[in-house]
Amino acid sequence: MKYFISVVLVVIFIVCTPEITAQINGKNVVFVHGLQPEDLLRLRSLEQIEEAGLAQAGTMRPRMDASIYFHSGYRLSENSLRLYRQVKNLESQGTCKDGCYFVTASTGDLVTRYIINRLNQWGIDKNKFKVLVSFDVVGAGGGTEGADEIVSALNGNVLGFDVNKYILQPFLGFDLNAGWFAGIINDLRPSIARQTAMAPNSLPRVRIVGGKENVLLSRFMLGRDDGIVPMHSACGSARQEALDSCSRSIRIDGRIASAKGPSSLLYNHFPILMAQGLGHTEAGNGQSSGRLVALNNGRNFADASFNISERKYSTGWWIFKKHYRVVNKPESLNIADVFIDAIE
């Protein structure tokens, strides 16, 4: 049973990369995609990887000013040269000369941290390359315990051939017996990811968080998760800890009550939206995000501010009365559209 659950974890972790799009406050937007499972075989060309990364921007793709791509089949350090070349190109083109916003999806959060921490090392002129804010949607910058399970399975907890053939292969579209690589999944292990996350954070990191758990996956996660990424990672907690909200005074369903929120957040990290019914793959693909809860409403981030209409209501009576505060928007709205419209 343990190995079967590990299989399902591998499948869902690999195939679930959210799509997210944005154009914010009149500023140029640089999109950084999430993990791409096809890269794990290391067979695709760089052109195919770039195109697939752009495809994650969905219907808003024409509005993106630039994107940064990485090869999921390789470690962060192995992606360093291609990341440097792309940043250098953005610098020379002046894309971020007047300031730009990064929008990251899932693993793109970790990749952006790596980039920002190496700008000086790469000799990037910050007068020509100014990143104002990074909006991290279901961000995996603090890692995920799921990555530990995948790497463990690859390093010895090998699954039977029939399981590979009849469960993994139909999902992935290729035969695992041909060989594949954990690549950047190694860097998503919390003990490794947090070495990058704990670096100086001069760039404000604005967080959008989901909370729709998966029955099988949740047994591997510390605290609540969105099906792939635990809340300690998505919220920007300074510690790898079990959380059920990004706040200690409002719960993920909007109830105003004590919650198990972060003991502290990483410097310059600001959760702004969380949704109990939002799964990892639903963050930007047009599906209903459910009830949204706003945090840090009215807060300024560099030259932008987050302002969104909220409503309060109560249920029950007498000592059983419960009070709620939620975003005053239809639940059917795409969470990406909600936070984009709220940035001024």
User: In percent, how much of the chain has pLDDT > 90?
Assistant: 50
Whole-angstrom Cα distance, residue 3 to residue 160? 9
List 264's β-bridge partners, or say none.
Answer: none
Q: Is pLDDT above 60 for 112? A: yes
Domain boundaries, the chain: 2-341
Q: What share of the chain is helix, strand, coil (3-state, %, to 5)?
A: 35, 20, 45
- Span 197-221, pLDDT tens digits: 888 888 999 999 998 887 667 778 8
Beta bridge partners of 255: 324
Residue pair 135/218 in contact (Cβ under 8 Å)? The answer is no
What pLDDT, on the 0 to 100 scale, is given for residue 199?
82
Residue 23 is predicted with a pLDDT of 60
The pTM assigned to this predicted structure is: 0.90
pLDDT computed for residue 301 by the predictor: 86
Q: DSSP states of 19-68 as a string? A: -----BTTBEEEEE----GGGGGT-S-HHHHHHHHHHTTGGGGGG--EEE
pLDDT in tens, 278-312: 888 776 565 666 789 999 998 988 888 899 999 99
Read off the pLDDT of residues 34-78 as tens digits, 9 standing for 90 and up: 888 788 777 788 888 888 888 777 656 767 899 999 999 999 999
Say whether 119 sits in a helix, a strand or coil: coil
Q: What is the DSSP string of 283-331?
A: SSSSS---SEEE-STT-EETTEEB---EEEEEES-GGG-EEEEEESS-T
Which amino acid is present at 28?
Answer: N
Q: How far apart are CA 242 and CA 253, in angstroms?
A: 17
